[in-house]
Amino acid sequence: MKLIIANFKMQLTLHEELTLCTDLKKECVDSKNKIIVCPSFPALLAARTIFEKTEISLGAQTCSEYNKGPYTGQVSALSLAQAGCSYVLAGHSEQRSQSVTSQQVAQQALQITQAGLIPVVCIGESKQHDTFTNLEKELLEQLLPVHEALGKTPFYLAYEPVWAIGTQKTPSIKELTETLAWLKFTTPTAGLLYGGSVTPETSSALQTIALLNGFLVGGASTNLQKFKKILSLIH
Ligand code: PGA
């Protein structure tokens, strides 16, 4: 059984998100994998009702690095807990590209654990590196603040090379295995996920990597048939 996170991003309207959640409930509820759906903030309360009494869990796509205060437009981890979330993503590359720093991501992860939720911290290199040393260096810059903030608290680490997101490109199984082994060594408290062009076409090969505890699915999670296919290929 793997953790499969559906990250709807801002790909759908609220109505489309709730229709998809209803379809997921009908069609994916007996999957052997653990499904976590991350819709937009306005969809959370209604999605919670849809997924009530199912094994499907709810997640949010980000949260504030603060617990409370004058932060217009932000949402606290505690409010997300009260809205029914169990998981929260922190540091997705689409957040980092809007100048959210690794320090802020680490503070978000801390807020998430303090609210009793499970952080899914996303890291990934912005471009393909020539050497493993350069890759390590970029990943470590993102990881060290998280190590400092979370200490030994367990969390999920989603390795998502930015160049693989939404591009139909993935690292080779050999490259991915090497990077994941290094991540497991540096961060033994984390469960490892992979994200970046997880589709029906790439899932069979990706799911052979023993170090992986699951996947973060973006684009393909907003298409019921593709998502169902991915669920059926991963075990
Ligand atoms: P993708 O996105 O599956 O569309 O590549 C993954 C992600 O951004 O988490």
Q: Quick check: CB of 196 below 6 Å from ligand 1? A: yes
Q: What percent of the chain has pLDDT over 70?
A: 100
- CA–centroid distance, residue 54 to ligand 1 (Å): 25
Q: Quick check: CB of 59 below 6 Å from ligand 1? A: no
pLDDT of 165 > 90? The answer is yes
Task: Convert the pLDDT of each residue in 181-209 to its tens digit.
Answer: 999 999 999 999 999 999 999 999 999 99
- CA–centroid distance, residue 94 to ligand 1 (Å): 10
pLDDT (average), residues 25-32: 90
Q: Quick check: CB of 161 below 6 Å from ligand 1? A: no
Residue 130 pLDDT class (50, 70, 90 cuts): confident
**Active centre residues (catalytic):** 92, 160
- CA–centroid distance, residue 11 to ligand 1 (Å): 11
pLDDT of 30 > 90? The answer is no
Report the pLDDT value the prediction gives residue 81, as an integer from 0 to 100: 98
Report the pLDDT value the prediction gives residue 109, as an integer from 0 to 100: 98
CA 83 to CA 217: how far, in whole Å?
22
**Phi-psi group of 99: left, alpha or beta (phi > 0 → left; psi -120 to 50 → alpha; rest → beta):** left
